[in-house]
Amino acid sequence: MGRQYRSGAARAIFGVALAGVFLFALRLADPQDLDAPAPQTEPPPKARTLVSHFPEAPSVPPKWTIPIDPLGFSAPGAIYLGSRNTLVSLDFIDEDRLLFTFRIPGLLHRDPANGQDSDERQIRAVVLGLPQGTVDAETTWTVHDRLRYLWMLHNGRFLVRDRNSLFEGDASLKLKPYLDFPGSLLWLELNPAQQYLVTNSREPVTAADVPGRDAGSPATAAASVTSDQDSAAGNGGSPEFVVRILSRTSGQVMLVSRTRAAVHLPINSQGYLENLRGQGLRWMLNLRYFTGGSKLLGGVESVCEPEDDFVSEQEVLVTACGPEGESTLVAMTTAGRTLWITDAPGTEIWPHLTVAANGSRLAWATLDTTHTVNSYAPMSADEIKEQSVTVFDAANGNIPLVAPLSPIFDAGGNVALSPSGRRIALINAGVIQVFELPAPPTVPVTDEKHPKD
């Protein structure tokens, strides 16, 4: 979960477009209301603090290990550290099968059109059966950039991205065309129930990009373009990022909007989250419903705009940042209850979040550095000591597992949680380590009334 796709300004522009498409009014927050606490019948929990030392071994032993060298894997060289290239992905297809994909080292490819080095690379994919790690299926894919290329779906299927196309695959590793875009697809996200896709693509403005015209993508849908071209022209350029919300089952485009930066838009089946600026360092988290109205969920103190992610349909993880580069994780429900708070030291940077399909557990992987990293104390590659992962119970913030990750993959992809949250798989010390954890506690569910009810 990298911050290169986070932009508060872009999200604000997109929020206006979203309001128009879903036909609800954009209400400006009353400054007197921004510091008001969200409704909560009990005091918020006391914050816990993560230790800053580097773990030398997992806090509990793995149940199984699967060697990865025999699969053709080789650790990336130090030259890749800091480049944020996606070199590996590890996911559970179901409770008893893993999908492991990784870049195959090889010669650089040349683009015949211009004679320059291209970003074409070969990805080996294997399906591994547990507990023995037997290879149930294997293949090789070709992709053409170094960004994330795979997203797992809840039904044992997955999406593979290459250039401007999405493909859908399953445990047989056969891919079939799914969606095409008129420009390079950079990133996608899904809501917890996975009814919707949020996509970011790079598409230069053309004469056809006017309100009310067919967006031309994907081929299964037509949508009107809501554009901020006028504001862009006043700033000396046109926006080339396009954000879409699509129905995953039908491919129908629900919204198309042009922005000047890529947008991280956390949504569930009811609406989307936005951060409202309060007094001083105060930020309020607001859930704006697709059908109209909104609800303040709570507030956090942060020197940067917080980063919001849905853990489940009813739980949100807010990541705030302190003045010395430290992070604060705040888990709250869509009913406005704060479940737990955890402070992380400023030596843990570049977090990547992995969530179990049922929302019961989440894994927070970070790079561990020798000193606090902030604008006054930047980081160099030789100051990265290790990568580690902390696993949280979503209901209460308890930590059933802390473990190192080796080699370091600064773009993530080396941590997987099974659909039930009972198993976690890590790439560490030349093997895939698979852990069995106790059943996670249940996230408390409270009835939530829509603001208009």
Give φ, ψ of 17 to 5 degrees.
Answer: -65, -40
Q: Would 205 be classed as within a structural domain?
A: yes
CA-based angle 7:8:13, to the nearest 5? Answer: 100
The token pair at 330 is 């705040």
156-196 tens-digit pLDDT: 999 999 999 999 999 999 999 999 999 999 999 999 999 99
In a domain, 378, yes or no: yes
- B/e letters for 290-303, b = 16+ CB within 10 Å, e = fewer, are bebbbbbbbbbebe
With a cut of 50, list the residues of the chain below it in pLDDT. 1-14, 16-17, 19-35, 37-38, 114-116, 207, 210-236
* Cβ proximity of 229 and 236 under 8 Å: no
Three-class DSSP category at 214? coil
Q: Is residue 24 included in any domain, yes or no?
A: yes
Tokens at 217, concatenated:
């993508």
- Return the bridge partners of 69, or none: none
Asked, for residue 211, whether it belongs to a domain, the answer is yes
Which residues, 6 or more positions from 95, have their beta carbon under 8 angstroms from its beta carbon?
Answer: 418, 419, 420, 422, 423
Compute the distance between CA of residue 401 and CA of residue 389 in angstroms, rounded to an integer.
8
Residue 97's pLDDT is: 98
Instruction: Evaluate whether residue 231 is within a structural domain.
Output: no
CATH number at residue 91: 2.130.10.10
Q: What Cα–Cα distance (Å) separates residue 128 from each residue in 131, 284, 421, 432?
A: 9, 44, 18, 10
Q: How many domains does the chain have?
A: 1
Q: Is residue 233 part of a domain?
A: no
Residue 322, pLDDT score:
92
Q: Which domain holds residue 192?
A: 3-108+117-226+238-436
Q: What separation, in Å, do the N-terminal and C-terminal C-alpha atoms of the chain show?
A: 35
Q: Assess contact for 352 and 367: CB atoms under 8 A.
A: no
Q: Let me know if residue 395 belongs to a domain.
A: yes
What DSSP string describes 54-88? PPSS-SS--SEEEESGGGT--PPPGGGTTS----E
In a domain, 296, yes or no: yes
pLDDT value, residue 79: 73
Would you say 156 and 94 are in contact if contact means Cβ atoms under 8 Å apart? Answer: yes
Instruction: Check if the beta carbon of residue 34 is closer than 8 Å to that of residue 301.
Output: no
pLDDT at 30: 47
Read off φ and ψ for residue 292, nearest 5 degrees.
120, 145
pLDDT digits (tens, 9 = 90+) for 379-422: 666 778 889 999 999 999 999 999 999 999 988 999 999 999 99
